[in-house]
């Protein structure tokens, strides 16, 4: 009887915990939504007022000071953030307010805090700057056309309100168009990315790289996991936490990854759990090992990575196929999906990859990687390499 009561009590505490967590998450989402709507409203009114009243360039500095005087300790309404709100509203206000009902807009405008801000903007002493002209940020013709023709779905609206204002400013300043921004909004919301993590994924160009890795998934994987697997991996990965030169081999490359395994997993994406490096496989009393072994919770399968510091070679496919056969026969559990193998190399030719994978019945793909210390291809020949730069610096001592 006592054990039954203990079990009931533990279950009750677990239920309360989940309710509290769920409530906190919901409260945070609602608070973020209200903040985004507030910033849209303030930014929109600022742009309209500055344009119609022809206020000068210093007006935002004065408005920020007036707001701080009226509301001591106010945060988030500095001159810089007011300028960010203008940029944010110029880009999204028409698009988003067009999706909101009149009642929703009215509710926003009549909130006491919002009305207070709007009143302060109207009555600000910055009227003395009235006759000075200020330039309004210009949008490209392409973006203007998108604003006029794009209609947001409810799903897109949900993504929009799922990320913070800081995320939005990063996207506005780093992404060229709405399609790219909404891709990253969805990605950030789904993976609950920090601003720093989102910046890394933008730098990694996953918008153009995600789901583009050459592979044989289409003919080797079960239909239940094929689409997810195709979208899971990228054509190129950015490992900006490592700095290696071309003389260092796969062992040093592997050691650098293991030393930074958390960052490596974050670079891979969602659902990866690290099982080990040089993972041992046995066959006929002989030992073999795959460089890195992971389990992906979404795909529910083992994922083996083979690391190569040079260009992809056809023989790499045969070796990986051997490892995948061993993994499926000796390591994979009965309920798990077939294992996947990824060859990470410095360079590849997609035609060579395609021919190398023909007649192989194990799922595999080839991706390249980029390190933070590497010079972009378009800048090679313009900037000096590391060795030349070192000589130049030493000559000036």
User: Given this model, what pLDDT does residue 382 score?
Assistant: 52
d(CA 267, CA 269): 6
Residue 388 counted as domain residue: no
237 and 313, same domain (yes or no): yes
In this structure, what CATH number is given to the domain that contains residue 314?
3.40.1350.10
56 and 163, same domain (yes or no): no
104 and 231, same domain (yes or no): no
312: its two tokens: 């992809």
Phi and psi angles of residue 238, each rounded to the nearest 5 degrees, phi first: -105, 120
Residue 355 counted as domain residue: yes
Tens of each residue's pLDDT in the chain, 397 residues = 455 567 777 887 788 888 877 787 778 778 898 899 889 988 988 988 888 888 887 889 999 999 998 889 888 899 999 999 999 999 988 777 665 544 555 455 455 444 444 444 444 434 334 434 444 443 444 444 444 445 678 888 889 999 999 999 999 999 989 999 999 999 999 888 999 999 999 998 999 988 899 999 999 999 999 999 999 999 999 998 887 776 678 888 899 999 999 999 988 988 999 999 999 999 998 999 999 999 999 999 999 999 999 999 999 999 999 999 999 999 999 999 999 999 999 999 999 999 999 999 999 999 999 886 444 555 455 545 545 544 554 554 4
Residue where one domain finishes, among candidates 203, 229, 245: 203
Helices (H) and strands (E) in the chain, counts: 18, 6
d(CA 94, CA 96): 6
Confirm if 44 and 89 have CB atoms less than 8 A apart. yes
Question: DSSP strand E in the chain: where?
Answer: 236-239, 272-283, 286-296, 301-307, 340-345, 363-371
SS3 assignment, position 229 = helix
User: Given this model, what pLDDT does residue 141 score?
Assistant: 44
Beta bridge partners of 266: none
Residue 336 counted as domain residue: yes
77 and 173, same domain (yes or no): no
239 and 223, same domain (yes or no): yes
d(CA 166, CA 101): 26
Residue 391 counted as domain residue: no
User: Given this model, what pLDDT does residue 130 score?
Assistant: 44
Q: Which residues contact 247 (CB under 8 A, 6 or more apart)?
A: none
User: Given this model, what pLDDT does residue 388 score?
Assistant: 53
User: Given this model, what pLDDT does residue 95 score?
Assistant: 78
Residue 393 counted as domain residue: no
Residue where one domain finishes, among candidates 203, 231, 251: 203
229 and 287, same domain (yes or no): yes
41 and 186, same domain (yes or no): no
Which DSSP letter does residue 111 get? S
Confirm if 95 and 147 have CB atoms less than 8 A apart. yes
d(CA 303, CA 338): 9
Domain that holds residue 361: 209-379
Residue 394 counted as domain residue: no
Tell me the CA distances in angstroms from 9 to 12, 38, 65, 316, one per residue in order: 5, 43, 54, 56
Q: Residue 250: name the closest of 310, 308, 306 by CA.
A: 308
Residue where one domain finishes, among candidates 203, 237, 252: 203
Q: What would the DSSP string read from start to end of 362-392?
A: SEEEEEEEEETTPPPGGGBTTB--HHHHHHH
User: Given this model, what pLDDT does residue 395 score?
Assistant: 55
SS3 assignment, position 333 = coil
115 and 170, same domain (yes or no): no
Residue 224 counted as domain residue: yes
Confirm if 221 and 290 have CB atoms less than 8 A apart. no
34 and 125, same domain (yes or no): yes
233 and 374, same domain (yes or no): yes
Confirm if 166 and 172 have CB atoms less than 8 A apart. no
d(CA 347, CA 364): 16
SS3 assignment, position 280 = strand
Q: What is the pLDDT of residues 216-236, one digit of tens each?
A: 999 999 999 999 999 999 999
46 and 132, same domain (yes or no): yes
How many independent structural domains does the chain possess?
3
164 and 122, same domain (yes or no): no
User: Given this model, what pLDDT does residue 184 score?
Assistant: 95
Residue 118 counted as domain residue: yes
User: Given this model, what pLDDT does residue 368 score?
Assistant: 95
d(CA 41, CA 108): 8
User: Given this model, what pLDDT does residue 240 score?
Assistant: 85
């Amino acid at each position: 009887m006592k054990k039954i009561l203990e079990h009931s009590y533990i279950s009750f505490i677990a239920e309360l915990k989940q309710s509290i967590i769920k409530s906190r998450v919901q409260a945070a989402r609602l608070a973020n939504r209200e903040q985004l709507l507030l910033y849209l409203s303030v930014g929109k009114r600022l742009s309209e007022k500055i344009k119609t009243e022809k206020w000068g360039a210093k007006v935002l500095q004065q408005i920020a000071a007036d707001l701080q005087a009226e509301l001591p300790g106010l945060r988030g309404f500095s001159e810089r953030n007011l300028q960010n709100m203008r940029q944010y509203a110029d880009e999204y206000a028409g698009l988003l307010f067009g999706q909101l009902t009149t009642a929703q807009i009215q509710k926003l405008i009549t909130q006491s805090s919002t009305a207070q801000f709007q009143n302060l903007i109207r009555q600000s002493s910055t009227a003395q700057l009235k006759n000075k002209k200020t330039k309004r940020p210009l949008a490209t013709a392409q973006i203007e056309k998108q604003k006029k023709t794009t209609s947001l779905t409810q799903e897109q609206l949900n993504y929009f309100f799922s990320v913070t204002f800081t995320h939005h400013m990063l996207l506005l300043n780093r992404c060229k168009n709405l399609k790219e921004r909404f891709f990253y909004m969805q990605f950030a919301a789904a993976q609950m990315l920090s601003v720093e993590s989102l910046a890394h994924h933008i730098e990694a160009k996953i918008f153009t790289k995600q789901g583009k890795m050459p592979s044989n998934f289409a003919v080797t994987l079960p239909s239940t996991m094929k689409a997810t697997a195709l979208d899971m991996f990228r054509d190129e990965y950015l490992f900006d936490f490592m700095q290696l030169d071309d003389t260092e081999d796969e062992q040093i490359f592997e050691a650098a990854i293991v030393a930074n395994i958390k960052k490596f997993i974050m670079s891979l994406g969602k659902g990866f759990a690290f099982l080990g490096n040089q993972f041992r496989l046995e066959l006929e009393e002989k030992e073999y090992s795959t460089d890195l072994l992971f389990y992906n919770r979404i795909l529910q399968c083992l994922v083996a990575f083979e690391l190569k510091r040079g260009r992809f070679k056809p023989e790499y496919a045969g070796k990986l196929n051997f490892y995948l056969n061993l993994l499926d026969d000796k390591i994979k559990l009965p309920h798990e999906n077939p294992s996947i193998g990824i060859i990470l190399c410095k360079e590849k030719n997609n035609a060579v990859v395609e021919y190398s994978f023909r007649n192989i019945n194990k799922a595999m793909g080839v991706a390249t990687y980029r390190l933070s210390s590497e010079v972009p291809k378009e800048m090679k020949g313009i900037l000096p390499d590391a060795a030349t730069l070192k000589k130049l610096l030493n000559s000036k001592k």
